[in-house]
Amino acid sequence: MGQGVLQVGRLMPSLTQKLRDDYGAYLLPSDPAEFLASHGDEIRVAVTSGGVGVNAELMAALPNLGAVVNFGVGYDTTDVDAAAARGIVVSNTPDVLTDCVADTAVGLMIDTLRQFPASDRYVRARRWPVDGIYPLTRQVSNTRVGIIGMGRIGGAIAKRLSAFGCTISYHNRHQVDGSPYTYVCSPVELAAGVDVLVIAASGGASTEKLVNREVLDALGADGYLINIARGSVVDEEELVAALVDGRLAGAGLDVFAHEPNVPEPLLSMDNVVLLPHVGSGTVETRAAMEELTLRNLDSFLESGQVVTPVQ
């Protein structure tokens, strides 16, 4: 028997199966009008992901919706203001993916500065015996790194890079009390003083295109951009233009503005490393995310409260 659960968008196959088998969950059709007319008032909980979310229009079509349970730490695709206005709680899965995403940021930074993926392609194309040694690249250790967003993930990235002897500075909405790292009051000022700019900020309207042309120009022709946050935080057109024009040394990107679509010019650049949004994509982390998603769902169905509400 159903418990008023609606799956919105694609989720991990194992989670989709559990929602269907254990909760009798509905799956929102791509053309939802008929479904919403027939079943909209049954739905108490929507389970979704950061890539899809629940917008205000869908909330309005679900008059008894009480919770949006989000698989993932990012929830910028869910209209949290509309949810708050309707008394709908929103949860996400913080902490359990922090280490994997931080690992991804550091690995992406190493791959980008040292051009390891391009070096691998160089060997596979049998260019080494013909063209000789691969061109020299940039050192990772002891670089100056700026981090935009010093939350859980930003802090984990900083801790890892400190072990590489990197000098860490950051920009955040607020200075972090007790942080050992140097606070900088604007993204432009931060970018102007570092070799590598790492984006670890939350997505959403408040950070949309926060990294714009002015920030990229401040980072400069010797600077690198690493983004493991949300594609929306960076002005993607300006980023592509800076790379094409040589106004930026390189970029490592796990996220994009219009996923899964990646700007065509980036595909042929050896100084750019591209990943298909795999920051938390390990067996261990995805299992932990699934478990926390279901804990939030169970908690709401039992008590009307979630375990990890968004802040």
Catalytic one of 44, 171, 277, 286 = 277
Residues 8-47 as b/e (b if ≥16 CB within 10 A, e otherwise) read: bbebeeebeebbeeebebbebeeeeeebbeebbeebbbbb
Count the neighbouring beta carbons within 10 Å of the beta carbon of residue 260: 8
Distance CA 26, CA 40 (A): 10
- φ, ψ dihedrals at 272, nearest 5°: -125, 130
Mark whether 160 is an active-site residue.
Answer: no
Mark whether 277 is an active-site residue.
Answer: yes
Distance CA 200, CA 304 (A): 31
Ordered DSSP codes for 119-181: HHHHHHTT-HHHH-SPPP----TT-EEEEE--SHHHHHHHHHHHTTT-EEEEE-SSPPTT-SS
Question: Which residue type does 139 have?
Answer: Q
Mark whether 258 is an active-site residue.
Answer: no
Q: Report residue 263 as tokens.
A: 């700007």
Catalytic one of 10, 127, 258, 259 = 259
Q: Active-site residues: which are they? A: 230, 259, 277
